Structure 1
């Protein structure tokens, strides 16, 4: 994974007011910690940081106070409406050091007809060198039949990376796609649970009404 260089500034002001001023200047408050060192409070460039953190487990080279530090994002706080970055916690790493991170699972290909792909794990915990973290784990489901199961042991990772899951942990499950009858039955069951009466089939009500009218007409004829 290539390093992304970000030039940071040391932060001397703290609190909500200071954080708001930093964000108004299109920058991001952050803290850098790890390896038993005291936390370093910094300010990162807003746009560059936003672009860098679009990639999971981005390896950052933080240039600050005349030095350079390698770091991984530990926690990223985002504004739920604006989707801007509010604050970043960064953990220090060293070249050659192994870290455990969650890697996204990418599904490729199409399974056999009339099947359903059930992704049990969207991310997988992996131990890898800090400078060689896989960006994603690709799982091919091309042509797989119903009943096929892909476990942690089946995942293909770069050399030096290992999955931190039980070998039999299920990652992807290929099942039979539900039929129209299955869907209707599930819908009827769900409606019954919430007390919704089943809807009469189209034309049923009219047929019943016609039968009632015919019966009433017959009774009138008998009376006459």
Structure 2
């Protein structure tokens, strides 16, 4: 993974008011920490950081002018509605050291017809060198049939990376696709649990009221008398 260099400024103002001023200027407040050193508070350019963090395990070189820090994202807070980055915690790393990170899994290919592909886990934890973190893993389901499963141990890891989870962790499970009748039954059960009732279609099962029946009989009798 290539290093992404970002120019930063040391941050001396703290608190919610200072953070709001930083964000209004399209920047992001961030903290660098790790290796027993004191936290380094910085301000990063928002757009550049957003582009860099399209990969959640991006390797960043934070340039403060007088010093540089190699870091990876540890925790990123985003606005729940607009999605922009509100704050970033960055872990300082060193070349050659190993870190444990979650790497995204992409499923490719198509299972045979009539199956349902269930991805049980979207990421997997691995231990890798800080400067050689895999961007993602691909697992193929091409031609798999009902009952097939892919576990963590089935994923091919690059040299220098090792699993940091149980090898039997289920990643993908191939099951039989539900029938239309099963889907309708599940929907009906869910609606019943939620207390949803459906009105009967108009004209079905509606018996005439007693008064209406009598009025109808009297009208028929009158029509009969008139015709005589």
TM range (shorter): 0.7 to 0.9
Q: Aligned-pair distance for 1:192?
A: 2.8
The match for 1:127 is 127
What does residue range 43-82 of structure 1 map to in structure 2 within 5 Å?
A: 43-82=43-82
Give a deviation string over 1:121-151, Cα, whole Å, max 9, x none. Answer: 1111111110111111111111100100101
Q: Aligned-pair distance for 1:197?
A: 4.8
What does residue range 78-89 of structure 1 map to in structure 2 within 5 Å?
A: 78-89=78-89
Q: Structure 1 residues 197, 17: CA separation in 2 closer, same or farther (over 3 Å shift)?
A: closer
TM-score, normalised by the number of residues in structure 2: 0.86
Q: Aligned-pair distance for 1:110?
A: 0.8
Q: Aligned-pair distance for 1:198?
A: 6.6
Q: Report the RMSD for the aligned CA atoms in angstroms.
A: 2.3
State the alpha-carbon separation in 1 of the partners of residues 19 and 92 from structure 2.
22
Structure 2 unaligned runs (5+)? 208-212, 218-228
Higher mean Cα deviation, 91-100 or 21-30? 21-30
Q: Aligned-pair distance for 1:33?
A: 0.7
Q: Aligned-pair distance for 1:157?
A: 1.3
Structure 1 unaligned runs (5+)? 211-215
The match for 1:213 is none
The match for 1:160 is 160
CA radius of gyration, larger in? 2
Q: Structure 1 residues 192, 26: CA separation in 2 closer, same or farther (over 3 Å shift)?
A: closer
State the alpha-carbon separation in 2 of the partners of residues 89 and 122 from structure 1.
23
State the alpha-carbon separation in 1 of the partners of residues 119 and 145 from structure 2.
15
Provide the secondary structure at the position in 1 that maps to 2:19: helix
Give a deviation string over 1:37-83, Cα, whole Å, max 9, x none. Answer: 01111111111111101111110011114222100011111112222
Q: Aligned-pair distance for 1:209?
A: 6.2
| Number of aligned positions between the proteins | 213
TM-score, normalised by the number of residues in structure 1: 0.87
State the alpha-carbon separation in 2 of the partners of residues 74 and 168 from structure 1.
26
State the alpha-carbon separation in 2 of the partners of residues 41 and 209 from structure 1.
74
